[in-house]
Structure 1
Amino acid sequence: MNAPVAEFYPGNLVSARGREWIVLPESTTDTLRLRPLGGGEKDESLIYLPLERQPVGPATFPWPTVEQARNHSASQLLMDALQLKLRSGAGPFRSFGNIAVEPRAYQLVPLLMAMKQSTVRLLIADDVGIGKTIEGSLIAREMLDRGEIQRMAVLCPPHLCEQWQRELEERFHIQAVVVRTSSATRLERDLPPGTSVFDAHPFTVVSLDYIKSERRREAFQRFCPEFVIVDEAHTCTQGGQGRQQRYQLLKGLAENTQRHMVLLTATPHSGDEDAFFNLLGLLRTDFTQLKDLPPSARTDLREDLSRHFVQRRRPDIAEWQDSSMFPDRKTAEITYRLTGAWGQLFNDVLDYARELVERSEGKGQREQRMNWWAALALLRCISSSPQAAVNALRTRLKSGQQEDDDLSLEELEAQASERVMDGLDDALSTDDIEPAAQTEDTARLQDLIAAADKLAGAANDPKLAKLYDHLQGLVKEGFQPVVFCRYIATAHYLADFLRGKFKHATVKAVTGELTPGEREAAVAELGDTEQRILVATDCLSEGINLQSLFTAVVHYDLSWNPTRHEQREGRVDRFGQQAKEVRSTMLYGEDNPVDGAVLQVILRKAESIRKELGVLVPMPDDEGKLTQALLNAVLLRKHNTVGKQAQIGFDFGEPAQQIETAWQSAREKAAKNRSIFAQRRLKPEDVLPEWRKSAAVLGGPEEVQRFVIRAMSKLGAGLEAYKSHFKAPLGELPLALKERLAAEGMAGTIRIDFKQPAAQGAVLIQRTHPLVAALADTLLEQALDSQNEDADGVARAGAAFVGNVTLKTTVLLLRLRHQLSVTREGNTRLMLCEETVAVSAAGTAGLAELSLNEARTLLGTEAVRNMPPVIRDRHIQQAVESLPGWQGALEDIAKARAQALLADHRRVREAAEARGSYQVTASLPVDVMGVYVLVPAQPTREPT
């Protein structure tokens, strides 16, 4: 019978199966989760103690020996390998070792706000493109790595599901499944009866449209994870039926006061006061009182809200003084005139549209509404392109079977509005199919179709000709443009024309005909080309980020909603855009009355308010009624014909005045709310010290690049410079390493880059990339292998004559292991923290801790001259013999680091004390990874 098993804790060293291991979290009395001393995550093993032939016992870490001495230049390589393979880092943020993105310091503000709450409730309302996805995911990753949550769900509109799934996996190493109508049945098929998909899959991305129904909503509330992110949260406030269902879902989730919720939206206030305060009420129910409280009574509640609500615009980010964050956006307007045959056709279509509306006067509501929508569809499509007009004229607007069928009329109104209008700010339309405009089949209609057909091409289409001229200039200046239009027919019309003109560019059209996955793939294919032009409908104006491939946006068709314009530009002008300048161009007909109405009354007014307040104020449209009234004025005013200056000369009467009044009210509300909710934001000085401390512990892009270049060279597969990046010949690596990388999908010669975004066709290499982990594990294994006799291998010991020390200096490279215990509600969770620390002793002085920069300077120093092996070995032996005498000092350093770690965690997660406590214990003895002796170089004697 085996002897009783000993109890081991995370960070303990044990000996089992003929080798040494580090005990990892999630070990139990009977089962140990272990990682080899020199291995990584891929080498982790489980050992069931009662079945082990030989008992598992404590182990000690072997000190370096003289036999492990190598070239001094390899000492820094070991330090980099140790630092970059850390996943359970000991900095103030547990998550930084597990993410594949380098967040900017300003993106840590929501994380620090979250860490100061016992139950996280945050509304992150940062501007488009600032990085809300990163901010929300970072909070989730941090709480996972702190052991405070085990499950999470992201609730988002259906078209964003795949993007969230990809972002979580690629940037945060969280593998989530998508739960929507098409996947839920498959996910549930193999589950035991009574088991929820949310129990079986701890990380999910859930379509709001799937989960909002009453039956699914109730089931989700029963099994909902303890951490929930809600994207586009403004679509989940009370309103229409769909919005009401979403709101009831979130309200039910928020009633559990222990559930963490992070709400994301770029437009928290879409003009509806009730909706906005309902959103705040999800954070804390009493925040809804702010709507009616007099100013004198708001102070305390406002101060409380400032801890749960963060809203930054681009100007707010400027104080962080990071010029690399956002490009300079230069805007321009270009115009065309409706001349010749095109102008004649436009007037003919305008006349025909007016006749449709006038003919239905005095008739039934159904016919009036059908003719009105048909007329508006004609105006929208003829303003877009000849092909869109032809499709509209050829598509019959069905009347339904029963003339008095109110439901059919409602359905007709809904479909027509979706395809003609651009939707409301909480539900912008992505339907890019041309609206139906044919209500009759007459010779006149056929003449209009024939005339529109003949106009295709730059010779007869002044709008297309102007686009071509403008794109020529953009391409010549080195920009990569995206052209946004409203309809599918227009997108293909433009793409077909541009392919014939730009022979050296790849031109692709992406429309709603493609599934979300196909759209992403189509955009990704453009990344393999030097010059690219993307023509897209508004199916791409939200959901797919384009900043790594494109640097200019052209609004070929004006959107009738200013928020849509900002979303289009925000696809390119956003966090991660490396270009210093991006362009945005608005194209419109200077004598087109439709463009004139939209420009004068909607877009220009929105822009003036945005400049005044620094906030994009949503269109105050009363469910689209104001825009419809405006366009009705365009349709029915006989003097609004081609030949007038659209943006100057048109008078849109009462509808324009109504919209102006609504804009003024919206502006005043926005200004008032900016005043009410002006918050005590965290400043750079509150955040940067924490950021720098964590970045220093783990290493950044410079350390990654230096390490990979030197490691590949050391392993016989040196990188080859290629344009602005590198080629990596993975086929020349040692067999075991080559097989490990092949299992990750990397083989042969690949192109790699260390800066974000990576060069076209290159793989971005950051600290958590499998290549970095595999190289670090391999080098560390070699360093710890006592049988490894590679004279040029990684050095655990070394000595050299150097010119930057005046006293003989011994540098010890240490790996510290700490047990971090978190006690919450009576349950204690043990975690492992590791860090790389260097200490030095100069002359006869005692050991002193080095900063990482000091350690890199010393270990990275080149030898001034060769040191004979016998002298080198003597220096190393003396240092190794000093280790027992330094043991007490090393343990004191480890204990001090443990207390500093405890202070870091308490400071960052101060609110955790309300629900539990932290404790940090150093695992002793300390691991001495390397011993290096730096000897002052003797001055060279001058010849006499």
Structure 2
Amino acid sequence: MNLPAFQTGQLQTGDLIQARGREWIVLGKPDERLVRVRPLSGSEEDAIIIAPSLERMPVRPATFDLPTADQPDTQDAARLLADALRLSLRRGAGPFRSAAHLGVEPRAYQLVPLLMALRLDVKRLLIADDVGIGKTVEAGMILREMIDRGEVERFSVLCPPHLVDQWVGELAEKFDIDAVAVTSARARSLERGLALGDTIFGIYPYTVVSLDYIKADSRRESFAQACPGFVIVDEAHTCVGGSEKGTQQRYALLERLAEDATRHLLLLTATPHSGNQDAYARLLSLLHGDLAGGPEAGDQNARRRYADRLAKHFVQRRRPDIADKWGDAGAFAKSMKADAPYTLTGDFQNFQEDVLDYCLGVATRADGERARRLAFWGTLALMRCIGSSPAAALSALRNRLGGMAEEAALAPVLFDDDGDELADTDIEPATALDREELAELKALIMRAEGLAARFEDDPKFRELVRQVKDLTAKKDARPVIFCRFITTAEAVGEALRAQFKKHEVEIVTGRLTPEERRGRVEAMVDHPNRILVATDCLSEGINLQSLFNAVIHYDLNWNPTRHQQRDGRVDRFGQPEDTVWSVMMFGSNSIIDGAVIKVITEKMKRIQQATGVIVPVPEDSASVSNALMQAMLLHSSKPRAQGLFDFGDAEERLEMEWKDAEENARKSQTRYAQAALKPDEVLPEWHRLRELLGGPDEVERFTRRALARIDTPLGAVGSHYRVSYEDLPKQLGERLAARNLTGTRAIGFADKLQPDVAHVGRTHPLVAMLAETMAEGALDPGGVEGKATLGRCGAWRSAAVNKLTTVLLLRLRFKLTTSGRKTLLAEEATALAFATGENAAIAQGAEALALLEPDASGDIAPPVITRQVDQALARLPEYDAAIRAYAQDRAAQLSEDHDRVKFATRGEGATTEVEAVLPADVIGLYVLVPEAN
């Protein structure tokens, strides 16, 4: 039928139109001259924008073609099409618009930040959950929801450079978002070819940006002007504390971005309060001006306003909160921690004492307070290397020949500061050189060379071998061994290769680029017996939970939060194993480890037990270094080392600082305790979300059926499967290869899988592309290969019905209108079932779809199938009123769902009106013949 041409102003979201020789669905109108459309048989990737007034042929209304009896198919095809349609739709109509895009099944507690964000017109949150709880998932859900609601068209993630690639991967894998990495190394290639006046952030709507690249004075203002309206800042605590130039630049950038009161801003950190109250106030001030003055500022009304405002913008949960308050102890593996003391003997013990004597001689000769302080710091840095390994000792002693080291270079090494790039501090430092010490230094170097050559005799390494044997042989664990320095990691890794020849032992240090580190880790997936030796360049940036389930701390860290970060690489949301291990090694008679345990570790443990919070080392580095030096002298076995220096009241001052840190932690726990949302407010919405997503069983059922249809069935291997991507039809295989899915892979569909088995959910490329291919194979058979084509009708005998029953597979379209008058298309796959002679549906939704599942009880001859389908098509006009009424009822129910979520969040969020776009699309028609006929 040649219907009159549309005028652009007449087009509405959800309309079906004909243009360029095919049918399209209107997704929306960017402006009054343009229309965004998606092919009727295509996916979201095929969407384009057209200008109807410029089209060569007029844009006309279109109608959706009904199934025809000349293309019947089997019951398997009917079930396959029903699942493919559901899994391929990405524009959900429910209050969580993002549900269909999630590649991860969120836990109930992870919905809290999303519901808090929905309360706010401008989404500004500080998400300060513990390491490993899932802050990336929580932030990504908010971002995905805002995109799918049409409220966000561009965004930037700002993060330290070593996290850029991880964010790009997480956005693609878990949220179906393809973002561009912007770093100092990649920016030039991205800028190449841009027109004059264009910027990276104007051309690429989704970006993950290195903070170190964009913080520079020369880039900050231009980025602020082009910055998207939605920004996520990861490791936000690194932007507010300290007086270093880099920190000041980062804070200046965030302060500039926060000036735009309409910009959405999510700040993520596991350590929001470092003990520096001013830094914490700066962090909170980025969320809202009411939080700039601090909790004690002003009168009682001002303090109440502060508390009320903070409750809207701040969320923080600890691991115990998840188990106790949310009843979700299964979200994380059971954490088993153990100490592994060792005893130094012989040459290895004597070497520590002799190096300390050497350092004391340097400190004794130091002239003036600054020189004495530098001598102490140099001593601590050198002793730290000595305690790490003979290899690190040798490297540090040789580096010491290079001359003086400034305090600025020693501080990050001593106190494990969270620098811009952790790899910068895993190199042994040059600690200082006294002209009178040259001969003594060379003698120590020769001794270190001898100890390094006998590394396997080191009592510390022998204890490591015992621990690795216990973990790998008795606990079937795959350990990550964290070392403080590069040379230690290399020595440990090479020695372990000689000891564990049946294992794949890999070494990752700061000598490698971030891309090389990631590549070495990912290459271990094919080796079930694996051991990874790494420096702290991996304590952030690459999640290791899918490949490893144990951590051994070969070296004590002098910053307690770094131990937490190391453990958090494997002990985190998504760890498939039920148990993870953390082993802390230390020398029971080591003067270095003894000092650290006394001055730092024991104090930190006491505060953690009292408050549940790990606090960083106090910022007064002089008190810390003096207390450590004093403790080392006290732990020395040589009496002549006692009393050489007057450290004053260093120990008492440091104890007061630890007490202040504990008191601040207590106040923080009380003042900032998350009380905004309770489990009973969130759990109902979580259960509805799970129903909308479809569970693992449905995804598994579809994937098995789809692959069997195209003659590449899944191979069952115990509790999981193996899929051969190279055996797939060429077109599909090439698309998956572009997502790095090649060869034969182990896959599974459950929430928790064995290590090395890839989780496949509804947005996994395999499922998504299979669903798109099968749906397109029914609606546009010429667009797909071979057996991926599906007929849209059929008939079979069924014991599930006692009357002749017609099941209609439907695609419902809805127009969602927000209070901001933005209109969005939403779609839903469903079904209605009608008994012959009745115009009212006998089953709706999931109940009607379930009628397709029981296996056919008998075959029907092809001529009879054709007759049954033709007769059912003739009855379709009788069902129109019921289909229309069902679509309108669904629209009303969806409106109630949106209102319910708005009420649950008690927020300022937008209202949503839902209107059915009619007529509904009849995708499939199937006739079930009772056995008695």
Q: Partner residue of 1:288?
A: 292
Give the deviation of 1:473 after TM superposition.
Answer: 0.8
Amino acid at match of 1:775: L
User: Which residue of structure 1 lines up, in the alignment, with residue 705 of structure 2?
Assistant: 710
Q: Secondary structure at the match of 2:28?
A: coil
Give structure 1 stretches of 5+ with no counterpart. 401-410, 645-650, 940-944
CA contact (8 A) 1:92 1:694 kept: no
CA separation of 1:71 and 1:735: change in aligned 2, threshold 3 A: same
The equivalent residue for 1:352 is: 358
In 2, distance between residues paired with 1:881 and 1:791? 29
Which of the numbers 328, 335, 353 marks the counterpart of 1:329? 335
Name the CA distance, whole Å, in 2 between partners of 1:266 and 1:348.
Answer: 41
Match of 2:25 among 19, 22, 27: 22
Give the Cα–Cα distance (whole angstroms) in 2 for the partners of residues 473 and 120 of structure 1: 49
1:413 match: 407
Give 1:856-875 correspondences, 5 Å limit: 856-869=849-862, 872=865, 875=868
| Pair 1:234-2:229 in alignment | no
CA 1:881–1:28: 2 relative to 1, 3 Å: farther
Tell me the equivalent position of 2:313: 308
Letter in 2 for 1:797: C
Structure-2 change in CA distance of 1:855 and 1:730 (3 Å): farther
Residue correspondences, number? 915
Alignment of 1:184-203 (within 5 A): 184-203=187-206
**Whole-Å Cα distance in 2 between the matches of residues 831 and 461 of structure 1?**
67
Aligned pair in 2 of structure 1 residues 569, 786: CA closer, same or farther (>3 Å)?
closer
Shift, 1:452, TM fit: 2.4
Q: Deviations over 1:666-704 (max 9, x none)?
A: 222211221122232323332233233333334233222
- Residue 895 of structure 1 corresponds to which residue in structure 2? 888
Give 1:509-528 correspondences, 5 Å limit: 509-528=507-526
The residue type equivalent to 1:97 in the other structure is A
Q: For residue 912 of structure 1, report the CA deviation from its aligned partner.
A: 12
- The SS at the match of 2:858 is coil
- 2:77 is aligned to 74
Instruction: Kindly provide the CA deviation profile for residues 211-264 of structure 1, in whole angstroms up to 9, marking residues without a partner as x.
Output: 334443232222221111111112222540433332232222222211111111
CA displacement at 1:307 relative to structure 2: 1.5
Task: Tell me the distance in 2 between the aligned counterparts of 1:549 and 1:541.
Answer: 15
Within-5 A mapping of 1:97-496: 97-237=100-240, 239-242=242-245, 243-293=247-297, 297=301, 298-318=303-323, 319-360=325-366, 363-365=367-369, 367-396=371-400, 398-399=402-403, 412-423=406-417, 430-437=424-431, 438-440=433-435, 442-456=438-452, 457=454, 460-476=457-473, 477-496=475-494
- Measured in 2, the distance between the counterparts of 1:569 and 1:642 equals 36
- Which residue among 491, 497, 504 is the counterpart of 2:495? 497
C-alpha deviation, 1:135, in angstroms? 1.2
Kindly tell me: are residues 416 and 745 of structure 1, through their superposed partners in 2, closer, same or farther at Cα, counting changes over 3 Å? closer
> What is the Cα deviation at residue 871 of structure 1?
5.5
Would you say the 8 A contact 1:818–1:834 is kept in 2?
yes
> Cα–Cα, structure 1 residues 850 and 690, in superposed 2: closer, same or farther, change >3 Å?
farther
User: Which of 489, 504, 507 is matched with 1:506 structurally?
Assistant: 504
Identify the match of residue 544 of structure 1 among 527, 542, 548.
542
Gaps of 5+ in 2: 641-645
Q: Secondary structure at the match of 1:245?
A: helix
1:835 aligns with 2:797: no
State how far apart, in whole Å, the 1-side matches of 2:604 and 2:292 are.
28
Distance 2:563 2:726 in 1: 48
Distance 1:395 1:19 in 2: 71
Task: Give the Cα separation in 1 of the matches to 2:440 and 2:419.
Answer: 38
Instruction: Tell me which moved more, 366-375 or 464-473.
Output: 366-375
Shift of 1:94: 1.7
Shifted more, 94-103 versus 747-756: the winner is 747-756
* Residue 640 to residue 172, structure 1, CA distance change in 2 (3 Å): same
Shift of 1:764: 4.4
1:685-764 alignment runs, 5 A limit: 685-722=680-717, 724-730=719-725, 732-734=727-729, 736-738=731-733, 740-741=735-736, 746=741, 751-755=746-750, 764=759
- Equivalent residues in 2 for 1:57-72, closer than 5 Å: 57-72=60-75
The structural deviation recorded for 1:122 is 0.5
Residues 807 and 832 of structure 2 are in contact (CA less than 8 Å); yes or no, is this contact kept in structure 1? yes
Alpha carbons of 1:704 and 1:439: their partners in 2 closer, same or farther (altered >3 Å)?
Answer: farther
Range moving further from structure 2, 864-873 or 706-715: 864-873
| Cα distance, 1:113 vs structure 2 | 0.7
Give 2:604's match in structure 1, choosing from 600, 603, 606.
606
C-alpha separation in 2, matches of 1:791 and 1:191: 44
After TM superposition, list the pairs within 5 Å mapping 1:766-915 onto structure 2: 766-784=761-779, 794=790, 796-806=792-802, 808-822=804-818, 824=820, 828-841=821-834, 847-848=840-841, 853-869=846-862, 872=865, 875-908=868-901
Instruction: Tell me if 1:640 matches 2:636.
Output: yes
**SS at structure 2 position matched to 1:603:** helix
Q: C-alpha distance in 2, partners of 1:499/1:483?
A: 13
Shift of 1:913: 9.4
Confirm whether residue 924 of structure 1 aligns to residue 918 of structure 2. Answer: yes
For 2:643, the equivalent position in structure 1 comes to: none
Amino acid at match of 2:694: G
Give the letter for the 1:894 counterpart. Answer: A
- 2:41 aligned residue (38, 41, 44): 38
Q: Measure how far apart 1:479 and its partner are.
A: 0.4
Work out the CA distance in 2 between the residues paired with 1:159 and 1:233: 14
CA distance in 2, matches of 1:28, 1:679: 42
Q: Which residue of 2 aligns with 1:562?
A: 560
Matched, 1:84 2:78: no
- Per mean C-alpha deviation after superposition, the further-off stretch among 82-91 and 753-762 is 753-762
The 10-residue stretch of structure 1 (703-712 or 843-852) with the greater mean CA deviation from structure 2: 843-852
Change (3 A) 1:471 1:118: same
Q: How far off its partner does 1:760 sit?
A: 6.6
1:406 equivalent in structure 2:
none
1:496 CA displacement = 0.9
8 Å CA contact 1:838, 1:849 repeated in 2: no
Pairwise CA distance, 1:603:
1.6
Q: Is the 8 A contact 2:598 2:631 kept in 1?
A: no
Code of the residue aligned with 2:315 in structure 1: it is: V
1:851–1:501 Cα change, 3 Å:
farther
Q: What is the alpha-carbon distance in structure 2 between the residues aligned to residue 612 and residue 851 of structure 1? A: 56
Whether the aligned pair in 1 keeps the contact of 2:835 and 2:842 (CA below 8 Å) is no
Partner SS state of residue 111, structure 2: helix
Aligned-partner SS, 1:798: strand
The residue aligned with 1:404 is none
Change (3 A) 1:159 1:800: same
Confirm or deny: 8 A CA contact 2:714 2:722 kept in the other structure: yes
- Would you say the 8 A contact 2:387–2:592 is kept in 1? yes
**What amino acid is aligned across from residue 901 of structure 1 in structure 2?**
L
Q: Structure 1 residues 739 and 283, CA, compared in 2 at 3 Å: closer, same or farther?
A: closer
User: Relative to 1, partners in 2 of residues 1:198 and 1:482: Cα closer, same or farther, differing over 3 Å?
Assistant: same
Question: Residue 726 of structure 1: CA displacement?
Answer: 3.0
Q: How does 1:553-702 map to 2 (within 5 A)?
A: 553-619=551-617, 621-637=618-634, 640-641=636-637, 654-702=649-697
Aligned partners of 1:150 and 1:202 also within 8 Å: yes
In 1: Cα distance, 2:382 partner to 2:787 partner: 79
* 1:11-51 Cα shifts (integer Å, max 9, x gaps): 22223455433233347666554433332235445555456
Structure 2 counterpart SS, 1:558: coil
Q: Secondary structure at the match of 2:425?
A: coil
Where 1:554 maps in the other structure, the secondary structure is strand
Alignment RMSD: 3.3
Between the aligned partners of 2:105 and 2:650, the Cα distance in structure 1 is 49
